[in-house]
Structure 1
Amino acid sequence: MISADEKTSIQARCRCHPSKAPGKARIMRVSHDYHRGGALAYLAAYDVHRAKIYGRCEATTGIEPFTALVEQVMTTEPYASADRVFWVVDNGSSHRGQKAIARLAEQFPNAIMVHTPVHASWLNQVSVNRPWMSGLARGA
């Protein structure tokens, strides 16, 4: 079972100067100056049985970025050869309704999309645990 979600409007920032490693009697030095890189979206797919996270940064959310995430996961094992792979998603615009279900089934016949109830995205494990956010904060 794959639990998928999107985190929008993440501010991409890049430090102006490289960090300096700690030395004898000196702590690590990290510059507080940074350049803004605009807003990005992070899409995550969390295999709840294997505790494995797949993710990608995109310029925006939408059907194409979500489809790219699905392809990233479904073309790898064990998902490519699995009889069924359930995708639990909220009712976001990039994967809402019967058209999204049909699109997923057409592209990957072994993938089955399951929507959480409206206003209950907290039932989606990737939204509850947000295990991918700690990796995102570290620059993963």
Structure 2
Amino acid sequence: MPQSRWSCPELAAELTARGITETVSASTVRRWLREDALKPWQYRSWIFIRDPNFRAKAQPVLDLYARTFKGVPLSKDEYVVSSDEKTSVQARCRCHPTLAPGRARAMRVNHEYGRGGALAYLAAYDVHQAKVFSRCEPKTGIVPFMALVEQVMTQEPYAGAKRVFWVVDNGSSHRGQRAADRLTGRFPKAIMAHTPVHASWTNQIKIFFSVVQRKVIRPNDFPDLPQVRDRLRAFEDRYNATAQPFQWRFTTSDLHDVLARLDQHITDRQESSF
């Protein structure tokens, strides 16, 4: 069929054209679909695990969230920091003024806009203290990321900490063993923990970025980049004044259960193909 999605009137017409039913209304088709157990127009995207070391990488990160490392509980002067970059935060100046909401009317934001440039928003989140540190840079890279590390590691309690674990994904600014060596070489008490490839959801800073996207950037209506920076800084101050740690519930036990079910699913498919 040429269509992947059908409207109820189209389905009603198709049923009649194929002789499956006599004339039927779109509302009847809508009722049938609502009552049916199968809803083929709904879908969920997913990604298959591609990192051969998924378990070995994910487990230390999840253990750190539970305040353990290599089976030993973290002490009070050990910290876990989740960090990443939010790229291309744009300043979009709307061609016509945004109209404030009114009675029975939503805010109206003009579709057309002028581009006022873009910046990179780098942030580090102490997952147990619920404290955010951030900076705005023209672009991402090793130098901007290490500037963020410097910003955090040169202030207390991190400067005097026993160890500070940095959870990062596999972006080019902090990828691989060279990045881990660079971090420890600059700050011997800092230890880098990489999330598995294509598993940024295990990095708690992504939750904070989703909050920023909803509460700060949307709707994107900024005349210039300085206003974007000011809004981000103001939100960080407000967030740090009231924030509570995220209620992270995905544990290493959950990880083992998921991977076991996946292994069983793969085994079942292989056996059924013979």
For the superposition of Structure 1 and Structure 2, which TM-score range results when normalised by the shorter chain? 0.7 to 0.9
Tell me the equivalent position of 2:143.
64
Pair 1:73 & 2:173 matched? no
Tell whether the 8 Å contact from 1:44 to 1:132 is kept in structure 2 after alignment: no
Shift of residue 14, structure 1, vs aligned partner: 6.2
Tell me the equivalent position of 2:176.
97
Give, in whole Å, the separation in 1 of the partners of 2:161 and 2:178. Answer: 23
Shift of residue 135, structure 1, vs aligned partner: 6.3
Tell whether the 8 Å contact from 1:90 to 1:121 is kept in structure 2 after alignment: yes
Within-5 A mapping of 1:30-45: 36-45=115-124
Q: Residues 136 and 75 from structure 1, CA distance in 2 versus in 1: closer, same or farther, beyond 3 angstroms?
A: farther
Q: How many residues align?
A: 131
Could you list the runs of 4 or more consecutive aligned residues of structure 1 that deviate by over 2 angstroms after TM superposition?
12-16, 31-37, 128-138
Q: Please, what TM-score do these two structures have when normalized by structure 1?
A: 0.80
Give, in whole Å, the separation in 2 of the partners of 1:117 and 1:124. Answer: 10
Q: Residues 133 and 69 from structure 1, CA distance in 2 versus in 1: closer, same or farther, beyond 3 angstroms?
A: farther
Higher helix share: 2
Q: Could you tell me which of 160, 165, 184 is aligned with 1:86?
A: 165
Letter in 1 for 2:116: G
Give, in whole Å, the separation in 1 of the partners of 2:145 and 2:172. Answer: 10
Q: Residues 8 and 49 from structure 1, CA distance in 2 versus in 1: closer, same or farther, beyond 3 angstroms?
A: same
Give, in whole Å, the separation in 1 of the partners of 2:137 and 2:93. Answer: 17
Tell me the equivalent position of 1:137.
217
Higher RCO (CA < 8 A, seq sep 6+): 1
- For structure 2, the residue ranges without an aligned partner over 5 or more in a row are 1-79, 96-108, 219-230, 233-274
Q: In terms of mean alpha carbon deviation, does 100-109 or 124-133 score higher?
A: 124-133
Higher strand share: 1
Q: What SS does structure 2 have at the residue aligned with 1:78?
A: coil
Tell me the equivalent position of 2:185.
106
Superposed CA RMSD: 2.6
Give, in whole Å, the separation in 2 of the partners of 1:78 and 1:68. Answer: 18
Give, in whole Å, the separation in 1 of the partners of 2:187 and 2:130. Answer: 22
